[in-house]
Amino acid sequence: LRAFGAGDVSTNLHPAFEYLKDNEIPIIVTTQAPNGNSNFQVNEPGQKLREKELAIPAYDMSIESQTTKLAWLLAQKRDDNLTYADINREMIHDIRGEINVLKELKQ
Protein backbone atom coordinates (compact mmCIF):
# COMPACT_ATOMS: atom_id res chain seq x y z
CA LEU A 1 0.00 0.00 0.00
CA ARG A 2 1.43 3.36 -0.98
CA ALA A 3 0.66 5.79 1.82
CA PHE A 4 1.22 9.46 2.49
CA GLY A 5 4.43 10.73 4.03
CA ALA A 6 6.09 8.29 6.42
CA GLY A 7 3.34 5.69 6.16
CA ASP A 8 0.28 7.64 7.19
CA VAL A 9 -2.87 5.60 6.63
CA SER A 10 -6.33 6.79 7.64
CA THR A 11 -7.68 5.15 10.78
CA ASN A 12 -10.84 4.48 8.74
CA LEU A 13 -8.87 1.65 7.12
CA HIS A 14 -7.90 0.02 10.43
CA PRO A 15 -10.93 -2.34 10.52
CA ALA A 16 -9.93 -3.65 7.08
CA PHE A 17 -6.32 -3.98 8.25
CA GLU A 18 -7.50 -5.87 11.35
CA TYR A 19 -9.51 -8.25 9.15
CA LEU A 20 -6.46 -8.92 6.98
CA LYS A 21 -4.25 -9.44 10.03
CA ASP A 22 -6.79 -11.87 11.52
CA ASN A 23 -6.61 -13.81 8.26
CA GLU A 24 -2.78 -13.63 8.22
CA ILE A 25 -2.59 -11.52 5.07
CA PRO A 26 0.39 -9.17 5.38
CA ILE A 27 0.12 -5.51 4.40
CA ILE A 28 3.30 -3.72 3.42
CA VAL A 29 3.09 0.06 3.71
CA THR A 30 5.43 2.16 1.61
CA THR A 31 5.54 5.85 0.85
CA GLN A 32 4.62 7.58 -2.37
CA ALA A 33 7.36 10.15 -1.76
CA PRO A 34 10.45 9.70 -3.95
CA ASN A 35 13.45 8.84 -1.78
CA GLY A 36 11.18 8.72 1.28
CA ASN A 37 10.63 5.95 3.78
CA SER A 38 7.78 4.56 5.83
CA ASN A 39 8.81 3.82 9.37
CA PHE A 40 5.65 4.32 11.50
CA GLN A 41 7.57 6.43 14.03
CA VAL A 42 6.97 9.92 12.69
CA ASN A 43 3.22 10.62 12.89
CA GLU A 44 0.29 9.36 14.92
CA PRO A 45 -1.37 7.35 12.09
CA GLY A 46 1.80 5.32 11.57
CA GLN A 47 2.33 4.91 15.30
CA LYS A 48 -1.15 3.42 15.62
CA LEU A 49 -0.37 0.92 12.87
CA ARG A 50 2.81 -0.05 14.71
CA GLU A 51 1.10 -0.32 18.12
CA LYS A 52 -1.57 -2.66 16.75
CA GLU A 53 0.88 -4.46 14.43
CA LEU A 54 -1.55 -4.00 11.56
CA ALA A 55 1.01 -3.46 8.82
CA ILE A 56 4.68 -3.83 7.98
CA PRO A 57 6.71 -0.71 7.22
CA ALA A 58 8.68 -0.89 3.99
CA TYR A 59 11.17 1.69 5.26
CA ASP A 60 13.20 2.75 2.21
CA MET A 61 13.02 -0.53 0.26
CA SER A 62 12.35 -0.16 -3.43
CA ILE A 63 9.07 -1.49 -4.80
CA GLU A 64 11.08 -4.20 -6.57
CA SER A 65 12.75 -5.27 -3.31
CA GLN A 66 9.44 -5.31 -1.47
CA THR A 67 7.76 -7.39 -4.16
CA THR A 68 10.60 -9.88 -4.44
CA LYS A 69 11.03 -10.30 -0.70
CA LEU A 70 7.29 -10.70 -0.05
CA ALA A 71 6.86 -13.19 -2.91
CA TRP A 72 9.74 -15.28 -1.56
CA LEU A 73 8.38 -15.16 2.00
CA LEU A 74 4.87 -16.11 0.90
CA ALA A 75 6.30 -19.12 -0.92
CA GLN A 76 8.13 -20.06 2.28
CA LYS A 77 4.89 -19.68 4.23
CA ARG A 78 3.20 -22.10 1.89
CA ASP A 79 6.05 -24.62 1.80
CA ASP A 80 7.56 -24.36 5.29
CA ASN A 81 4.64 -23.13 7.38
CA LEU A 82 6.21 -19.73 8.00
CA THR A 83 3.91 -17.78 10.32
CA TYR A 84 2.45 -14.32 9.87
CA ALA A 85 4.79 -13.09 12.63
CA ASP A 86 7.76 -14.62 10.78
CA ILE A 87 6.82 -12.71 7.63
CA ASN A 88 6.54 -9.46 9.61
CA ARG A 89 9.96 -10.01 11.15
CA GLU A 90 11.68 -11.04 7.92
CA MET A 91 10.22 -8.20 5.83
CA ILE A 92 12.05 -5.68 8.00
CA HIS A 93 15.23 -7.75 8.18
CA ASP A 94 17.93 -6.23 5.96
CA ILE A 95 19.31 -9.13 3.92
CA ARG A 96 21.40 -7.53 1.17
CA GLY A 97 21.38 -3.80 1.84
CA GLU A 98 17.83 -3.20 0.64
CA ILE A 99 16.91 -1.27 3.82
CA ASN A 100 19.32 1.59 4.41
CA VAL A 101 17.27 3.60 6.88
CA LEU A 102 17.54 0.90 9.57
CA LYS A 103 21.21 1.71 9.97
CA GLU A 104 20.31 5.36 10.56
CA LEU A 105 17.57 4.51 13.08
CA LYS A 106 19.98 2.40 15.15
CA GLN A 107 22.48 5.25 15.53
The three-state secondary structure class of 38 is strand
State residue 68's pLDDT score.
95
Contacts 24+ apart (CB under 8 A), 100-104: 100/59, 100/60, 101/37, 101/39, 101/59, 101/60, 102/59
* pLDDT per residue as tens digits for the range 25-58: 999 999 888 888 888 888 888 888 888 889 999 9
State residue 72's pLDDT score.
92
Question: Mean pLDDT, to the nearest integer, of 52-72?
Answer: 92
State residue 70's pLDDT score.
95
The CATH topology of domain 2-106 is Rossmann fold (3.40.50)
Q: Is 104 a residue whose pLDDT tops 80? A: no
Domain residue ranges of the chain, discontinuous segments joined by +? 2-106
Q: Across all residues in the chain, what is the average pLDDT?
A: 87
Out of 40-49, 81-90, 98-107, give the one with best mean pLDDT: 81-90
CA distance 55 to 50: 7
Question: Mean pLDDT, to the nearest integer, of 67-82?
Answer: 88
For residue 81, the number of C-alpha atoms closer than 13 Å in the C-beta half-sphere is 0
State residue 1's pLDDT score.
92
Residues in the chain: 107
